[in-house]
């Protein structure tokens, strides 16, 4: 009985397995809902972790922005009336419970519209929950606003984030 030659050599099988393992290690590009998305700025100064908002009738997105030295900012997004825009606020060390407008203003470090961009560079507005997370988010003038805040400098964070954040992953 003649021995059949295997269609692949052990060397080529090893190379195929190596390629398969390398591909498996690459980040998955499956759709991630925005409420589970994780973003980072280009300089590694800040990260954003979105979270489900729950049953809020007003807040469409919730997130935490993590800065250096353990500083964490609370973020929320509400859509404006009239010309609809996702208007976000980043707050630090706000009092709990009923707060006055003055107290809320004092603990708000940044406010503005959040823009999104896909992998082709097409710009749109931040999507609401249960929609796919965009590849990029833009928080206009974030760094300059945070530099003016009481949380920046001695006893607070020391690295200013860039205004642009790239999708880094999806929470499980």
Query: By residue range, what is the domain housing residue 128?
Result: 32-170
Q: Is residue 27 part of a domain?
A: no
Q: Is residue 45 part of a domain?
A: yes
Cα gap 62→172, rounded to integer Å: 17
Q: Is residue 17 part of a domain?
A: no
- State the total domains in the chain: 1
CA distance readout (Å), 131 to 89, 111, 135: 20, 23, 13
Q: Is residue 19 part of a domain?
A: no
Q: Is residue 159 part of a domain?
A: yes
List, for residues 113-145, the tens digit of each pLDDT value: 999 999 999 999 999 999 999 999 999 999 999
Phi and psi at residue 132, to the nearest 5°: -65, 140
Phi and psi at residue 26, to the nearest 5°: -70, 150
List, for residues 18-48, the tens digit of each pLDDT value: 333 333 333 444 689 999 999 999 999 999 9
Cα gap 17→48, rounded to integer Å: 35
């Amino acid at each position: 009985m003649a021995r059949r030659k295997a269609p692949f050599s052990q060397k080529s099988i090893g190379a195929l397995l190596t390629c398969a393992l390398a591909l498996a290690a690459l980040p998955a590009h499956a759709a991630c809902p925005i409420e589970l998305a994780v973003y980072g700025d280009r300089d590694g100064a800040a990260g954003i972790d979105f979270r489900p908002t729950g049953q809020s009738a007003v807040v469409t997105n919730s997130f935490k922005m993590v800065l250096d030295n353990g500083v964490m900012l609370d973020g929320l997004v509400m859509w404006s009336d009239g010309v609809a825009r996702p208007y976000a606020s980043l707050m630090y060390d706000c009092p709990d419970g009923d707060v006055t407008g003055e107290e809320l203003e004092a603990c708000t470090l940044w406010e503005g519209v959040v823009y999104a961009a896909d992998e082709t560079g097409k710009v749109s507005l931040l999507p609401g929950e249960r929609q796919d997370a965009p590849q990029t988010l833009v928080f206009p003038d974030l760094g300059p606003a945070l530099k003016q805040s009481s949380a920046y400098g001695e006893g607070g964070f020391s690295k200013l984030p860039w205004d642009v954040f790239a999708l880094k992953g999806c929470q499980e």
